[in-house]
Amino acid sequence: MKQVIQTIAIPLFRNVTRFWFVVTYSGQLIFAYYILMLYYRSAALGDFEKWNTANPHFYIKGDVTGNLIFGIHVALAAVITILGPLQLVSKIRNKAPRIHRICGRIYIFSAFLISAAGLYLTWVRGSIGGPFSAISISINALIIIVSAFFAIKYAMQRNIKLHNQWAVHLLLAMSGVWLFRVFFMLWMLIHSAPVGFDPETFTGPFLSALGVFVYILPQAVVALYFSAKFSNSANKKLAFSLLLLVITIGIAVGTMGAILGMWLPRI
Ligand code: HEM
């Protein structure tokens, strides 16, 4: 049995990680497509009222600052969603290091800016959901800022191992908003009704738990990933692979739900 685990652990770990990457990046590209088709397209056509498709307070007549910050926020959302996962592809890093560095600078700069804009939208303009949602997404912004700081710091010091680790923490933090939509739609698919939250106020225990699950918990999964990757223990690799497999299946189903129930109907 021990022999079997040792033989399968390393290839399983590699393949499940790849599977996670393909599922996640495909889902994020579709999210970016939604952002381009809804927000970029309507801005290009001067039809800003269309921004209110998802929520009636995204474009508010007369609130020039708020509208501008929302516009910058969603404009950056598409950029970071498309660029982020590509930074993890080792072929690009090795064959085109200049592209990796240029995209990295854009990504880090966007990480700071999208978080600052998000904090303004949450605390100054006021967002949907209660104070718990506002706090959990603000912690997400903080994790983004800290991870972006260390990712760039270690890149400049040419400490590639630590740079890579902080970059993965950053990518997962930057994926929090996307994960929120994916796991929200998975929940809706399972229950076929708004269970555990009030659809009018968008508050409730389920949404509070989801905030922690998608904005904070992925950081622990990243820590487990590196612990399994650098460990010689086949059991650790196997356990992490199974955990990631279950999470990825959830992501795949939730993404289908988000595409069909949320993103496509709005564009
Ligand atoms: C870094 C990755 C992020 C992405 C890709 C992203 C993406 C988006 C998108 C696409 C929207 C428009 C709503 C929709 O069509 O679904 C939006 C709205 C919003 N975002 Fe972000 N966002 C990110 C980070 C953040 C952060 C860190 C915060 C808070 C600190 C934040 C706060 C908000 C707020 C308040 C709104 C308006 C919606 C509301 O009123 O609840 N975002 N974001």
Ligand 1: centre distance to CA 117 (Å): 9
pLDDT tens sequence across 177-189: 999 999 999 999 9
**According to the model, what pLDDT value does residue 218 have?**
98
Ligand 1: centre distance to CA 238 (Å): 35
pLDDT tens sequence across 140-191: 999 999 999 999 999 999 999 999 999 999 999 999 999 999 999 999 999 9
What six digits make up the tokens of 259? 């595409």
Q: What percent of the chain has pLDDT over 90?
A: 96
User: Helix 97-120 and helix 64-86: axis angle, to 10°?
Assistant: 150
Ligand 1: centre distance to CA 112 (Å): 13
Q: Is the dihedral of CA 263, 81, 45, 65 positive or negative?
A: positive
pLDDT tens sequence across 219-235: 999 999 999 999 999 99
Report whether 248 contacts 255 (CB < 8 A).
no
Atom 42 in ligand 1: residue holding the nearest Cα? 118
Q: Give the number of the atom of ligand 1 that is nearest the alpha carbon of residue 129.
A: 41
Pocket lining for ligand 1, CB < 6 angstroms: 35, 54-55, 73-74, 77, 80-81, 114-115, 118-119, 121-122, 127-128, 137-138, 140-141, 144, 174, 177
Please tell me the total number of residues recorded for the chain in this structure.
267
127 — phi, psi (to 5°)? Answer: -115, 170
